[in-house]
Structure 1
Amino acid sequence: MTERNLLLDPYWEARDTGKAIPQSPHAVSVALPLWRDVIAYEENDPACMATLQSIYPRFGLNPIVAQIANRALSKSEQSQNTCWPYPNLPTAKKARQYCKSVTPNAHITIKEESGLFCLIVDEHTTPTAKAFWQHTGLGASSRQAAIALNQEKSPLASDGERARELIRNRLAHIYGCESSLIHIHPSGMAALTTALEALNRLSFNKASFQVGFPYVDVLKLPEKIFNGSELSLTKDPCKLEIELDQKRPSALIVELPSNPMLQCVDLPLISKLAHQRGIPVIADDTIGSPVNIDALPYADLIFSSLTKSFAGRGDILAGSLVISPHSKWKQLFQETIPNSLLAELSDSDSIALEKASKDVHLRINELNNSCLVLKRNLEDHPDVKRVFHPEHCSNFKSLMRPKAGFGCLLSLELFGGLAKTKRFYNSLKVCKGPSLGTNFTLACPYVLLAHYQELKWAEECGVPSNLLRISVGLEKPSELWERFKTALNT
């Protein structure tokens, strides 16, 4: 079968509902081309769920991973059990430990199946097991499952290690640090899991503190899996100082920029306030990209989802954790993080990521430029109420590298409210589904996908539910604008 060219022929209409984006067994996105599809997906409508050929890997089981789970479940005595495959025994034990901490009397077993380790839980424990799977990002990958099922060949371990070495060197060149300070993980959230685990081992075992509107799992991971998390939306440094003095958190977590509002905190100031109090700073630079911004002088640890613009393909789940060479805790982190790492990126995923990221500089420069062109065209259209983009943020600009750009992401709000937004979304001729940073443009009603059960809270935080998030791809900017203009005029 010829692979569909998503730059020219995107999944955008009703007949595409549920298709894997891209056309790969390892796709991390799924087509939700109509507004009603997004609602049906969030409400777990059986008809909608039955169409899904893929799912974002942390939000559910990729179909290949599900085959492993079903194999293990077929040997289980309880028909209501659910199964969560992990790459090794330590990760499965960590998941069991968490489930037991929430539900001490839960019935939980770990069964090895085709070389993977399956956490099998009763129906009452399923929500807890799912939360651990989603927030930590430690689950078995689709490539690991495909190898376990003999659907794909297992690469040589030496080839996997060589690929990880090349990735670390590539990232070291981007960040401007030694490759020994970089660790490669199965996902961006797995990288944050390792960072928080390391802090616990160093006795920073208190609640963390997030500044700025959070990506849902960056807040939920420390809140639910570790020692708790609190959120501050204040932009007043005096108020932030008071909060830090009162809370004395284990770490201060920031996103550069925030998702989906694309605003950046004053990182140099926040870092100064935190370090004066002996508090490490953890930054997520996924959206900004280390190609564009340099946070290492201020953040002690930086985690990133390499799934996004670093890979670009949309079919590799991976993450990185970088220790800042400037951190006062550098040596402690170097000693502790390797012992906190529950799983590294698999050989097959590493090889795929190394190949995909060879052109990362060229691609991200193109994405930067294309996003900026679309942003300026949207700002000039009378139906567009607001465009959110890092170009409007002085704090982001202060972190930018020479000749860098603003990333591939923008968000927009339309005049005409929900009715206009639905019409625009339904008629927009680009791929529509979760994730970002892909080589093809990808749109979604992000707030519905990330905060469907807490829309009122998001509104109170200044994030409107009818916001649309656009990850701009490598289409010709003029052709992409024509698609947006046509949908706006619908």
Structure 2
Amino acid sequence: MPGLLTDLPWNQTLGETIPPDTPHAVSVSLPTWKSNVAYEEGEQWVVDKMQCGYPRFFIHPLIESLAQAIVQRHSSLATDKAMLFPSKSCAVRCQEFLLKGNTNVEAAAIHILEFLPHSEKVAVTNKRVLPRVTAVVYPKELWPSAKSFWQHTGEGISSRRAEFCHRALEDGTLVEQSSVAQPMTPRMFKGPRRYQRPMSIDHGLSNGTNGYDTGDAKTASETGAPDSASFVEERFGRNLSTELAAQAKLAIRKRIAGSLTTDTDLPHSLHAPTDSAHERSRDVPGFSVDDVYLYSGGMNAIYNAHRSLMLSRGEKPSVMFGFPYVDTLKVLQKFGPGARFCGYGNAADLDDLERRLGSGERYLALFCEFPGNPLLRSPDLKRIRALADKYDFAVVVDETIGNFLNVHVLPYADVVVSSLTKIFSGDGNVMGGATILNPQSRYYKELRAVYDTEYEDNQFEGDSVCLERNSRDFVSRIHRIDNNAEVIADILHAHPAVKQVNYPKYGDTRQFYDVCRLPNGGFGGLLSATFHRMEDAQIFYDHLQTQKGPSLGTNFTLSSPFVILAHYTELDWAAQYGCEATLIRFSVGLEETEALKHVFDFALAAIPSQTS
């Protein structure tokens, strides 16, 4: 049976990019249960075929190629390696992390190299994206620590930036800083300049928005930057306009804020009147698009939210409430004074937390997901908010799974974070993240002061343009995905081989989801199911004719044995919180509903009937 299953056509894609033939894909095909286990165990028959992987877990070949070129040119030790970052401040944080975790290593062994445009070879204008990258060069034995920083913080560069900068390095337009006498590159403004001209969510472009002095809006033809997919993916390395990128970033932020619902080309959509019949906003007094910050990925938004809270309120432990996506807990544990883990995320956990708070324990913040990944349980945000107000801690909510077209969590949060890599983009070919500050938060003034001085817009311009284009139909996609996911959840829920379906519609946390559910909101596109028997889970997965790999929120259905991939070395620990090894996670897409039903019915029918 295993050999025959491997021969099935949909299982012959091991190691290929998801989506197929996509150079900047964020997922990779692991089409059989055996291949997922083998990947976790590092077996060569899987590892050697990997064309890519989820970007924080797998160094993209384009990034690795640039890192190797930098080491070859600028390191005297052939055994050195390099981690690449979009700014020096990110690199400094990596350097500090490596030194703190490897006290036996001399500081001089880890050094930072900044690469800037060559002023004599680049025609410097404010309308052209210029190459920049910073490298942390370190001894190869520190690779596990460097990889840990890369994975948990999301601070590393994207594959598009790597491709762009490597080309510039080869043609001499990107050089190491010491060879540039006087850098003549426009610096990325941050701090108070960003707020020189406050902007409501319905206003157009303004100076200083998210770090860019965008000036007056111009059409693509006026900037010489045609708005086409081929331009972005094939020609941005030479000609991408900073004005176009700044417009794309503003459009993304307005889309998140809620005022931009038009599906038209830039820059016309930025000035198009909002259709009041479809207007959706964050509906919080004082909220504006200036409260939305873009990041290079969702985990980078979480990492910087935690870092900013520590800078504004001092270093105190945090609370991770509910079984989390793995790296959120790691950020709280490794980049501060630690965390209290409330892994069940239920009333008993809140009772225990309230007792601790009542006895004098104090925390920086409580982090939670709404709903959680992969168990899709929803925290009691009303009670959490009441405890936070009484005992003075911040609430940070990751709304990636629910998404802000289905749920409205900002009134209960001080900070909302989201991964734009997921359903906001949908195409699975670009990374992005966002942080949203609640202007009604008691910490808002202090947090804004920190963001004024600390925030860097490190989202690469090529990624911004791609993300803006992908997200134009975000609103129209959600309803269809919500409907498909509910149909699949009901099919799985009715099958005897399925032990439990994890979905906001079911279970004892439905009431908490409904508190934040919008009038027209659904239950989201993510669900998971555990099986009574491991062999049934394996047979079902191998017969499932969907894309199969890590990540979620794609426009196509994407399945994964999530616990095997995320917690392979700690299966017993995960199981005690309900994350059993037989769990399969499904991110449901835009396929025709009947066709999708057939795919799941076919896989379920492959499970042998159990007779007593």
TM-score range, shorter chain: over 0.9
- Which residues in structure 2 correspond to 1:190-201 (within 5 Å)? 190-201=300-311
Matched, 1:395 2:512: yes
Cα separation, 1, equivalents of 2:502 and 2:83: 37
Q: Which has the larger radius of gyration?
A: 2
Extract unaligned runs of 5+ from structure 2: 1-7, 116-130, 168-233, 259-280, 607-612
**From 456, 473, 480, the counterpart of 2:596:** 480
Deviation at 1:110, TM superposition (A): 2.1
Cα separation, 2, equivalents of 1:244 and 1:470: 37
- CA contact 2:86–2:458 (8 Å) conserved in 1: no
**From 10, 18, 25, the counterpart of 1:13:** 10
Query: Partner residue of 2:72?
Result: 74
Query: Partner residue of 2:393?
Result: 279
Cα separation, 1, equivalents of 2:453 and 2:574: 37
Task: Give secondary structure in 2 for the equivalent of 1:339.
Answer: helix
Larger mean CA deviation between 120-129 and 285-294 belongs to 120-129
Query: Partner residue of 2:567?
Result: 451
- CA contact 1:304–1:320 (8 Å) conserved in 2: yes
Query: Partner residue of 2:526?
Result: 409
**Number of residue-to-residue matches in the alignment:** 479
Query: Partner residue of 1:169?
Result: 254
Query: Partner residue of 1:103?
Result: 102
Query: Partner residue of 2:550?
Result: 434
TM-score (norm 1): 0.94
Larger mean CA deviation between 69-78 and 209-218 belongs to 69-78
Query: Partner residue of 1:305?
Result: 419
Query: Partner residue of 1:471?
Result: 587
Matched, 1:288 2:402: yes
- CA contact 2:52–2:58 (8 Å) conserved in 1: no
Superimposed CA distance per residue, residues 149-208 of structure 1 (whole angstroms, 9 cap, x where no aligned partner): 237533211211111111111111153441011000001111112211211211331111
Query: Partner residue of 2:223?
Result: none
Deviation at 1:382, TM superposition (A): 2.7
TM-score (norm 2): 0.76
Deviation at 1:226, TM superposition (A): 2.6
Query: Partner residue of 1:147?
Result: 164
Task: Give secondary structure in 2 for the equivalent of 1:119.
Answer: strand
Superimposed CA distance per residue, residues 441-467 of structure 1 (whole angstroms, 9 cap, x where no aligned partner): 000010111111111110122211110
Query: Partner residue of 1:349?
Result: 463
Cα separation, 1, equivalents of 2:391 and 2:438: 18
- CA contact 1:132–1:225 (8 Å) conserved in 2: no
Deviation at 1:133, TM superposition (A): 0.4
- Which residues in structure 2 correspond to 1:4-43 (within 5 Å)? 13-22=10-19, 23-43=21-41
C-alpha RMSD of the superposition: 1.7
Task: Give secondary structure in 2 for the equivalent of 1:183.
Answer: strand
- CA contact 1:307–1:314 (8 Å) conserved in 2: yes
Cα separation, 2, equivalents of 1:72 and 1:44: 27
Deviation at 1:81, TM superposition (A): 3.0
Deviation at 1:414, TM superposition (A): 2.1
Cα separation, 1, equivalents of 2:543 and 2:495: 17
- CA contact 1:86–1:117 (8 Å) conserved in 2: yes
Query: Partner residue of 1:6?
Result: none
- Which residues in structure 2 correspond to 1:110-129 (within 5 Å)? 110-112=112-114, 115-129=132-146
Cα separation, 2, equivalents of 1:190 and 1:118: 18
Task: Give secondary structure in 1 for the equivalent of 2:37.
Answer: helix
Deviation at 1:342, TM superposition (A): 4.2
Cα separation, 1, equivalents of 2:453 and 2:464: 20
Matched, 1:419 2:535: yes
Query: Partner residue of 1:135?
Result: 152
Query: Partner residue of 2:84?
Result: 85
One-letter amino acid of the structure 2 residue matched with residue 402 of structure 1: P
Deviation at 1:274, TM superposition (A): 1.5
For the structure 1 residues 152 and 48, does the alpha-carbon distance in structure 2 shift closer, same or farther, using more than 3 Å as the test? farther
Matched, 1:319 2:433: yes
- CA contact 2:36–2:564 (8 Å) conserved in 1: yes
Query: Partner residue of 1:211?
Result: 321
Query: Partner residue of 2:50?
Result: 52
Task: Give secondary structure in 2 for the equivalent of 1:439.
Answer: coil
One-letter amino acid of the structure 1 residue matched with residue 347 of structure 2: K
Query: Partner residue of 2:351?
Result: 238
- CA contact 1:172–1:182 (8 Å) conserved in 2: yes
For the structure 1 residues 21 and 198, does the alpha-carbon distance in structure 2 shift closer, same or farther, using more than 3 Å as the test? same
- CA contact 2:497–2:536 (8 Å) conserved in 1: no
Extract unaligned runs of 5+ from structure 1: 1-10
Cα separation, 2, equivalents of 1:227 and 1:304: 24
Cα separation, 2, equivalents of 1:270 and 1:482: 41
Query: Partner residue of 2:294?
Result: 184
Query: Partner residue of 2:93?
Result: 94
Cα separation, 1, equivalents of 2:255 and 2:520: 19
- CA contact 1:255–1:285 (8 Å) conserved in 2: yes
One-letter amino acid of the structure 2 residue matched with residue 49 of structure 1: V
Deviation at 1:122, TM superposition (A): 1.6
Deviation at 1:366, TM superposition (A): 1.1
- CA contact 1:146–1:152 (8 Å) conserved in 2: no
Deviation at 1:343, TM superposition (A): 4.4
Task: Give secondary structure in 2 for the equivalent of 1:67.
Answer: helix
Cα separation, 2, equivalents of 1:310 and 1:394: 26
Deviation at 1:72, TM superposition (A): 1.8
- CA contact 2:87–2:458 (8 Å) conserved in 1: no
Cα separation, 2, equivalents of 1:296 and 1:473: 26
Larger mean CA deviation between 359-368 and 71-80 belongs to 71-80
- CA contact 2:425–2:467 (8 Å) conserved in 1: yes
Task: Give secondary structure in 2 for the equivalent of 1:51.
Answer: coil
**From 467, 482, 489, the counterpart of 1:375:** 489
Task: Give secondary structure in 2 for the equivalent of 1:297.
Answer: helix
Cα separation, 1, equivalents of 2:494 and 2:338: 43
Deviation at 1:27, TM superposition (A): 0.4
For the structure 1 residues 66 and 371, does the alpha-carbon distance in structure 2 shift closer, same or farther, using more than 3 Å as the test? same
For the structure 1 residues 149 and 471, does the alpha-carbon distance in structure 2 shift closer, same or farther, using more than 3 Å as the test? same
Superimposed CA distance per residue, residues 391-436 of structure 1 (whole angstroms, 9 cap, x where no aligned partner): 1221111110111101100101223x11111111111100000000
